[in-house]
Structure 1
Amino acid sequence: MLIRKPVVIACLALAPMVQAQESENWEGEAELGVLMTSGNTDETKVNGRLGLINDREVWRNSGEFSTKYTEADDETTAEEYRAALETNYKFDEQQYWFLRGNWEDDRFSGYEFESSVTTGYGNRVWQSGKRSFLDLSAGAGYRYNKRMEVDPDTGRDVEEDAIARLAAQFDYGLSENSLFRQKLSTEIGLDDNNTISKSETSLQSSIMNNLSMKVAYRVKHVSDAPEGSEKTDTELAVSLLYGF
């Protein structure tokens, strides 16, 4: 499997995450889920993710890189790569400005790739300790998507549009060893009215030391999906997570 690298991914490098940071200030988690079955159907599923965060007095930087691959009876049925980088400049303990870049390559979505850059205002409206908080953000930006086939309505295979972005993240530490997390986001096209919404609901529980078990349910809805593609994709994943 080769990861295609469109020029659009260069937009992600605009985030000030490149500012020098001491390595000991970074925290992260690596996630891996593998399922292999045989019998009536030979199937292999692999989910992988790497999440990084650097939270300092003024800047909070984060990055997330994930991949999904499924093969059934020697035929690829899912292949997806995602990358998202975000930097926050904190005005105070609650308010912050954000700059975010996102890139996604899903072989079965009807797009060659999807990408966006957004900036705006965020607020940590509630926090209890280090592990429980609620972040809300709103902003605007630019979306650039490349379709696999020409759109019959526009005669083009490229979607370019100004967008508005709304997002929320709720983390709640159920106990010292378990965490509930809900992520929501929606990007609304201001010209073409194409809205892309995502939701991820997850629960993770510590097994031993830095190793945890995670169950996640993800939903993605595209209001104006390419012809032949489903508007809504759902995924239920069980994986092991290692924090560092």
Structure 2
Amino acid sequence: MTRSVFTSAAFAALLLVPTPAQAQLPEPVRAMIDAAIATGDEAKVRTVIDIARITNPDDGKELDTILAGFETRLAANEAAQAAAEEAEIRSAGIFENWSGKGELGAFMSSGNADNTGVTASLALTKDGINWRHKLAGRADYQRSEGVTTREQFLAAYELNYKISDRLYAYGLTQYERDRFQGFAARYSASGGLGYDVLTAGPTLSVKAGPAWRRTELIAGTTTSNIAALAAADFDWELSDKLSFTQDASAFIQSGSSTLISDTGLQASISDAVSLRLSYTVEHDTDPPAGAVKTDTLSRITVIYGF
């Protein structure tokens, strides 16, 4: 989150509070320490004070006092910054503090349809003090000689409540449309618990809970089923410019269960723009007549983060 003007001003004011005059510390040494303190760089301040201890071994107590004063002002600034950020989050309007990414690119498919086309998606996230909102949408579309050969749409909204640093409760609603898989609309709703298994280096989040699904088939029939949802989200930054992602989900139910795996490799072009290669496999255990069980989709997309 961007630091507020108030926080920056408060930090500058705290750091510019004069260091209490020392009786014995040589003036050039004191000036060097004050210059380091003015930068606000804790590592630099500690380095300068450590050097001063070597060159002025008899002034250890004075150096301890200076360092303690800097640490106190630094802690006060961090507390003020945290309070300002929390106040900014709490006062944010419904359209504020969203971050996200948009994707646009091409795909090549096999299974129910063998062709190339265009794909577009948008994912938005808003983090609050205890709540997190996620919005996602994706469209894959292809027309060949005036005939639509692929038409797949997805829209989802997920709400998370943070129970602890790693544990959270979730609620998920989802809409899908895929005529080539045999359904005009499929609605899903699920609620349960999620847990952040890995939070440093590679990250892994899992969630599971009961679900309900309603499927409106192209043939005109409608089915409703109680199901179970299990999902995992794995991200691994292989380097500063390259990352690996693996998302998997499963709706298990009587009738046709759905298993989805999305594997991606993302390379950063700039701070905001990335190139992503991904491969998605969707498997329905008992699809409608005329549809194959496994559908695959390879995508090449350009991502813009904001």
| Length-normalised TM-score, structure 2 | 0.65
Shift of 1:21: 4.6
Match of 2:299 in 1: 237
Q: Is the 8 A contact 1:35 1:44 kept in 2?
A: yes
**What CA distance in whole angstroms lies between the structure 2 residues aligned with 1:122 and 1:171?**
16
Shift of 1:195: 0.9
Match of 1:205 in 2: 267
**Does residue 191 of structure 2 align to residue 119 of structure 1?**
yes
Q: Is the 8 A contact 1:44 1:71 kept in 2?
A: no
2:177 to 89, 94, 105: 105
Q: 2:256 is matched by which residue type in structure 1?
A: N
**What CA distance in whole angstroms lies between the structure 2 residues aligned with 1:58 and 1:234?**
37
Match of 1:162 in 2: 226
Match of 2:144 in 1: 72
**Does residue 238 of structure 2 align to residue 174 of structure 1?**
yes
Q: Deviations over 1:191-235 (max 9, x none)?
A: x34211111001111112311101010011111100001111000
**What CA distance in whole angstroms lies between the structure 2 residues aligned with 1:165 and 1:98?**
12
Relative to total residues, which structure has the larger strand share, 1 or 2?
Answer: 1
Shift of 1:24: 4.4
Shift of 1:107: 2.1
Q: 1:111 is matched by which residue type in structure 2?
A: F
**What CA distance in whole angstroms lies between the structure 2 residues aligned with 1:77 and 1:116?**
25
1:36-115 aligned at under 5 Å gives the runs 45-115=117-187
Match of 2:203 in 1: 133
In structure 2, the gaps of 5 or more residues are: 1-91, 109-114
**Does residue 208 of structure 2 align to residue 146 of structure 1?**
no
Shift of 1:44: 6.0
Partner SS state of residue 57, structure 1: coil
Partner SS state of residue 129, structure 2: coil
Q: Is the 8 A contact 1:44 1:72 kept in 2?
A: no
Shift of 1:75: 2.0
**What CA distance in whole angstroms lies between the structure 1 residues aligned with 2:106 and 2:184?**
26
Partner SS state of residue 181, structure 2: coil
Match of 1:40 in 2: none
Match of 2:22 in 1: none
Match of 1:7 in 2: none
Q: Deviations over 1:88-126 (max 9, x none)?
A: 101011000000011101121110111100000110011
**Does residue 258 of structure 2 align to residue 196 of structure 1?**
yes
Partner SS state of residue 175, structure 1: coil
Q: Deviations over 1:165-195 (max 9, x none)?
A: 1110001112222221100100111xx3421
| 4+ aligned runs moved over 6 Å, structure 1 | none
* Greater relative contact order, per chain length (Cα 8 Å cut-off, separation 6+): 1
Partner SS state of residue 208, structure 1: coil
Larger Cα-atom Rg = 2
Relative to total residues, which structure has the larger helix share, 1 or 2?
Answer: 2
**What CA distance in whole angstroms lies between the structure 2 residues aligned with 1:33 and 1:239?**
4
**What CA distance in whole angstroms lies between the structure 1 residues aligned with 2:106 and 2:252?**
34
Instruction: Give the count of matched residue pairs.
Output: 209
**What CA distance in whole angstroms lies between the structure 2 residues aligned with 1:60 and 1:174?**
27
Q: Is the 8 A contact 1:187 1:196 kept in 2?
A: yes
In structure 1, the gaps of 5 or more residues are: 1-19, 37-42, 151-156
| Length-normalised TM-score, structure 1 | 0.81
Q: Deviations over 1:44-90 (max 9, x none)?
A: 61100001111233111111101011122332110111101101101
Shift of 1:22: 5.6
Q: Which moved more, 1:161-170 or 1:22-31?
A: 22-31
Q: Is the 8 A contact 2:124 2:135 kept in 1?
A: yes
Partner SS state of residue 133, structure 2: strand
Q: Deviations over 1:6-59 (max 9, x none)?
A: xxxxxxxxxxxxxx75644211001001479xxxxxx76110000111123311
